[in-house]
A and B are shown apart, each in its own frame.
Chain A
């Protein structure tokens, strides 16, 4: 018996044979066009409102690259980078401690996460900033000692506050990432003689990244904005410097627009970075969004890891 029906006896077989060579016309997606039109109209209205409103755009332009704003921008970026670096490091360390067979490490991690997630961030900032009230000096008595107020500058207090708080949240994200990796991966790693830590570093964490990056990217972006609460302890980031300026010249909205534009610029860059990181860590996962190929309908030649050519 032949594998396919004889087209001369089956109508459907005849139809399918003739269809297999036809041209493909893509779906129209009328909804998308309507949505785009509505959105454009709304945007035009918004632009008009701002253009006609009582905003001195000249002032916005003038202060856009003002020295105080630039200093604030640099401080915001530095603080975001440092606080996230601290947060991610602590997050990984405490996630691993939390999952360790050692009960002492587990309890320590539990306590850390409990404390830093359980109290408001602004309170933690104030505690760090006022640490000198409790410990006037720090160090090892007799060996070296420094005055706490000299160490806990607004920068240090903000870094510790934001970073340690972030660490508690990131620890949970990292933990769920680690849990998402199949135990078979760990067993295979052990079977080729890897220790627990090597397995974590070489096998589990790289695969957990796929799950970890989207929420951490999200938190990175939150952090850019969260640095602004450090203005309560005199850390001069963008928002605080913008405020200092408008207290003097009363151009409130203009300076807020300047600050907003810079926040958006930084966040945009971060989002682009996140896109590339996600792409990097989805190596070996294949491409799930394949479409039927239009021209000639033969699949394009294999594009590295992204395509699956085997039937």
Chain B
């Protein structure tokens, strides 16, 4: 069976409510394998919520999401969708890695322990082998020297790079980034974007929520503009960022650039 032509992510008509607030309104999006998609949009437009639905940190109310060929959160039996168990959901999450705005490194573990935790505890792989891989990953994000540092002893940029290494250690097929640089001081943004750029160049499928339009223009294959919980406009970065069709996109980009 040839999966290479199948998209990595397929979202169809996704609705998400928080109480009476409709945070996602019939969101549909396909992401091809190896594609880098940047999601932009004003605050509260549902970007984070959409990302969190993809790896099931939120449960959707309507629609369907497929990740790496699997229906997320349910098993289809005839005409019915059966909710998956905690263990099955945990297994599904293995196909995606997530990087958070606030890093969320495990504070009681060193950089190296953070990176090794998933492969050792979740995948039950041999410690020695995992350790070598983890050291190589820390090297790759430029932090081999920080392997024994605890998160509180590192700068934001360093923490975020460790967080990327931690996600990569699980060998995900898809990486989700939720504003990975917006909690960083301006001079630390570059080091994190460099790591992400290299990752994109290595062929990783990536969905990146970001306010870094320069990064989107340079790295993204497509840019998605979201507003009020819906996808307003999708297209190549040049079109969306330089000549947006929709007035709301135009207003947003003008506001960000000023």
Contact = CB atoms under 8 A, between A and B. Distances in A.
A193 B94 contact: yes
Nearest to B97: A191
A19 B122 CA distance: 56
A307 to B, nearest CB: 8
Interface in A84-127: none
Contacts of A281: 108
B117 interface: yes
Interface in A192-207: 192-196, 198, 202-203, 206-207
A190 B102 contact: no
A188 B108 CA distance: 13
B87 interface: yes
B86 A196 contact: yes
Nearest to A183: B104
Nearest to B176: A191
B108 A191 contact: no
Given A185-B107, A195-B86, A202 B151 contact: no
B90 interface: yes
Interface in B84-127: 86-87, 90-91, 93-94, 96-98, 100, 102, 104-110, 117-118, 121-123
A56 interface: no
Interface stretch (A160-168, A169-177, A282-290): A282-290
A284 B109 CA distance: 7
A285 B93 contact: no
A194 to B, nearest CB: 6
Interface residues of A, number: 27
B29 interface: no
A286 B117 contact: no
Interface string B16-29: 00000000000000
B57 A195 contact: no
Contacts of A185: 104, 106-107
Given A187-B100, A190-B57, A195 B153 contact: no
B170 interface: yes
Contacts of A203: 106
B104 A192 contact: no
Q: Interface residue tally of chain B, by bracket?
A: 35 or more
B15 to A, nearest CB: 22
A194 B163 CA distance: 16
Given A198-B122, A283-B150, A286-B152, A188 B86 contact: no
A203 B90 CA distance: 15
A31 interface: no
A135 to B, nearest CB: 38
Nearest to A203: B106
A283 B104 CA distance: 16
B167 interface: yes
A190 B96 CA distance: 11
A184 B167 contact: no
Contacts of B118: 192-194
A310 interface: yes
A260 interface: no
A305 interface: yes
Contacts of A297: none
A196 B166 CA distance: 19
Interface in B42-81: 55-57
A308 interface: yes
A191 B163 CA distance: 11
B154 interface: yes
Given A190-B57, A191-B55, A191-B98, A184 B104 contact: yes
B242 interface: no
A103 to B, nearest CB: 16
Nearest to A284: B150
A196 B118 CA distance: 14
B155 interface: yes
Contacts of A184: 100, 102, 104
Most B Cβ at <10 Å: residue of A191, A194, A286, A305: A191
Contacts of A196: 86
Interface string B150-180: 1111110000000100110110000000000
Given A188-B105, A305-B153, 10 more contacts: A185-B104, A188-B98, A188-B163, A190-B57, A191-B57, A193-B170, A195-B86, A207-B106, A283-B108, A309-B153
Interface of A: 182, 184-185, 187-196, 198, 202-203, 206-207, 281, 283-286, 305, 308-310
Question: Closest 6 A-B residue pairs measured CB to CB?
Answer: A284-B150, A192-B118, A188-B104, A191-B98, A184-B104, A193-B94
30 contacts: A184-B102, A188-B100, A188-B104, A188-B105, A188-B106, A188-B163, A189-B106, A190-B56, A190-B57, A191-B57, A191-B96, A191-B100, A191-B167, A192-B118, A192-B122, A192-B167, A193-B94, A193-B118, A193-B170, A196-B86, A198-B121, A202-B117, A206-B108, A207-B107, A283-B150, A284-B107, A284-B150, A284-B153, A285-B150, A286-B150
